[in-house]
């Protein structure tokens, strides 16, 4: 029986979902430990508050024993899978983080001092030392300043340092090896066929380089993984797909005859093309749900599916302008592989009085000869300068690579800084930021579309 029937859902949906298998191997374990050694089947499903996320290995089942994605390569006993859990759509949800703290009394490798704490020199047994991970799902990202072989065209000053790391004599801007600490969510390690730019700041040119640096920094490996290990990690990440597979209201999302844009299998086959080609007529594939008839007492299912179809129309066609009024966009303009690699959508640059007190705050001053920030001028504030920490360009400050939108229901919170706890908060942010003017019904429809991805 599909274990979705055990969730607190209306009785009619318990009946519907009990008759619909989530996949040939049922529901997988909630947590993968490094070195667990279990088989990751070719397809597996995991429960989340909205239904189940599906994980599909295009090349078949993966034997994880000895596999460098699943084995610890460093001294802190983490593996790649520690922060990229199948049950969380190959990312990590806030609910899972909190559960690991409770179950292990904070001793899970997830909370390693190097980046699972607000700063490595804080008392590691105290919850307060891990507050950004526990309350926002954020890991510390430590970057050299200035970047190697780059001469920045701006100055950066620490205005407020809630974690203590940026002013630390060991880890901060004035240490022997100056570094800046910012705090970010882990990205989804799946569907990477449809991702052109890696990392929130676009700093990694390839999956292999990302795996190399992740092992050295986040796993604290004494030496880089060897070429064979890097190749195995990258090959695994290229063949794994994640998407919401079923919904407690809408039933199976990837059923035969349904929208081709949904489901891990459609992603793996190339049928779900909108991430790759946003100008394709993928919108037409949702018309099968616009007037879904169903059988028996399936009114809630019909309404959910019709709502998803309306939300897809909003996603692809509802136009709005950027804050400067210079260009017109839709949601799909940025959430596709052909989009520019990074942009400032207003999640990190902020006025001091509006800044989150739990994150660091920086003052950025552009050099007189440098191009100013496109919307903020020459002096402004940021809680994560984003791409500018890599490029050294003042105009890039606050620019972040958009996250992919698959398996969202499995991996709240949202945005790189975890500032949106729900999809409702995410949609509300965009509505305010771009003055779109969504009605409540339109917000509801767009949220349903996003949770179905």
Q: What is the pLDDT of residues 18-46, one digit of tens each?
A: 333 333 334 567 899 999 999 999 999 99
Residue 65 lies in a domain: yes
Out of 10-19, 279-288, 389-398, give the one with best mean pLDDT.
Answer: 389-398
Mean pLDDT throughout 332-345? Answer: 80
Q: How far apart are CA 195 and CA 188, in angstroms?
A: 10
Per-residue DSSP letters for 290-335? HT---SSS-HHHHHHHHHHHHHHHHHHH--EE-TTSS-EE-HHHHS
Residue 11 lies in a domain: yes
Mean pLDDT throughout 278-303? Answer: 66
Residue 190 structure tokens: 């799946």
Mean pLDDT throughout 80-89? Answer: 98
- From 407, 443, 304, select the one nearest 48 (Cα to Cα): 407
Mean pLDDT of the residues in the chain = 89
Task: Quickly state the pLDDT bin for 297 (edges 50, 70, 90).
Answer: very low
Mean pLDDT throughout 237-246? Answer: 97
Number of domains in the chain: 1
Q: Identify the pLDDT of residue 226.
A: 98
- From 282, 290, 288, select the one nearest 307 (Cα to Cα): 290
| Residue 145 pLDDT greater than 90, yes or no | yes
| Residue 11 pLDDT greater than 50, yes or no | no
| Residue 263 pLDDT greater than 70, yes or no | yes
pLDDT (tens digit, 9 = 90+) per residue, 343-381?
Answer: 899 999 999 999 999 999 999 999 999 999 999 999 999
Residue 248 lies in a domain: no
Whole-number percent of the chain with pLDDT over 70: 88
Residue 84 lies in a domain: yes
Task: Quickly state the pLDDT bin for 254 (edges 50, 70, 90).
Answer: confident
Q: Is 0.85 topped by the overall pTM?
A: yes
| Residue 75 pLDDT greater than 50, yes or no | yes
Q: How far apart are CA 106 and CA 97, in angstroms?
A: 10
Residue 144 lies in a domain: yes
Higher pLDDT, 364 or 341: 364
| Residue 284 phi, psi dihedral angles, 5° rounding | -60, -30
Q: Identify the pLDDT of residue 291.
A: 61
Residue 325 structure tokens: 């009024």
Task: Quickly state the pLDDT bin for 451 (edges 50, 70, 90).
Answer: very high
Q: Identify the pLDDT of residue 272.
A: 65
Residue 408 lies in a domain: no
Residue 247 structure tokens: 């919904």
Residue 216 lies in a domain: yes
| Residue 2 pLDDT greater than 70, yes or no | no
Q: Identify the pLDDT of residue 274.
A: 62
Q: Identify the pLDDT of residue 249.
A: 94
HSE, CB side, 13 Å, CA atoms: give it for residue 83.
Answer: 26
State whether the Cα torsion 121-123-124-126 is positive or negative. negative
The CA–CA distances, whole Å, from 373 to 179, 284, 307, 376, 398 equal 23, 39, 39, 5, 9
| Residue 287 pLDDT greater than 50, yes or no | yes
Question: 241 forms bridges with which residues in the sheet?
Answer: 56
Residue 335 structure tokens: 């959430």
- From 244, 345, 354, select the one nearest 304 (Cα to Cα): 244
Higher pLDDT, 403 or 64: 64
- From 274, 414, 257, 441, select the one nearest 345 (Cα to Cα): 414
| CA Rg value for the chain | 22
Residue 347 lies in a domain: no
Range of the domain at 82: 3-148+163-240
Task: Quickly state the pLDDT bin for 322 (edges 50, 70, 90).
Answer: confident
């Amino acid at each position: 029986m599909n274990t979705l029937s055990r969730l607190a859902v209306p009785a009619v949906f318990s009946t519907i979902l009990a008759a619909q298998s989530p996949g040939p191997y049922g529901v997988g374990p909630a947590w993968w430990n490094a070195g667990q050694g279990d088989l990751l089947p070719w397809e597996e499903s995991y429960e989340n508050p909205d239904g189940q996320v599906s994980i599909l290995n295009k090349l078949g089942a993966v034997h994880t024993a000895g596999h460098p994605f699943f084995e610890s390569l460093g001294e802190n006993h983490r593996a790649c899978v520690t922060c990229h859990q199948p049950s969380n759509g190959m990312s990590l949800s806030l609910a899972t983080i909190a559960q690991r703290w409770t179950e292990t009394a904070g001793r899970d490798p997830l909370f390693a001092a190097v980046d699972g704490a607000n700063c490595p020199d804080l008392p590691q047994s105290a919850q307060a030392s891990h507050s950004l991970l526990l309350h926002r799902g954020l890991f510390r990202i430590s970057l050299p300043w200035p970047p190697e072989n780059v001469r920045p065209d701006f100055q950066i000053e620490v205005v407020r340092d809630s974690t203590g790391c940026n002013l630390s004599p060991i880890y901060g801007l004035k240490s022997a090896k100056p570094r800046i600490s910012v705090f970010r969510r882990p990205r989804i390690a799946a569907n990477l066929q449809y991702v052109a730019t890696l990392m929130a700041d676009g700093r990694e040119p390839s999956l292999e380089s990302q795996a190399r640096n992740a092992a050295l920094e986040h796993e604290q490996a004494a030496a880089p993984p060897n070429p064979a290990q890097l190749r195995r990690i990258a090959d695994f990440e290229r063949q794994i797909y994640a998407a919401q597979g079923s919904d407690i209201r809408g039933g199976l999302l990837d059923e035969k005859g349904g929208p081709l844009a949904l489901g891990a299998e459609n992603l793996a086959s190339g049928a779900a093309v909108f991430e790759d080609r946003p100008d394709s007529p993928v919108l037409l594939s949702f018309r099968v749900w616009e007037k879904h008839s169903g059988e028996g007492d399936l009114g809630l299912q019909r309404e959910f599916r019709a709502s998803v179809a309306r939300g897809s129309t909003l996603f692809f066609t509802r136009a709005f302008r950027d804050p400067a009024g210079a260009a017109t966009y839709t949601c799909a303009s940025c959430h596709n592989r052909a989009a520019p690699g990074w942009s400032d959508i207003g999640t990190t640059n902020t006025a001091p009085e509006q800044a989150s007190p739990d994150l660091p705050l920086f003052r950025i001053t552009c050099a007189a000869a440098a191009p100013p920030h496109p919307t903020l001028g020459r002096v402004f504030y940021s809680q994560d300068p984003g791409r500018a920490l890599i490029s050294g360009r003042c105009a890039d400050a606050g620019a972040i690579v958009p996250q992919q939108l698959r398996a969202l229901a499995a991996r709240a919170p949202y945005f790189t800084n975890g500032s949106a706890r729900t999809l409702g908060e995410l949609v509300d942010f965009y509505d305010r930021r771009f003055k779109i003017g969504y009605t409540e019904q339109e917000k509801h429809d767009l949220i349903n579309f996003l949770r179905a991805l």
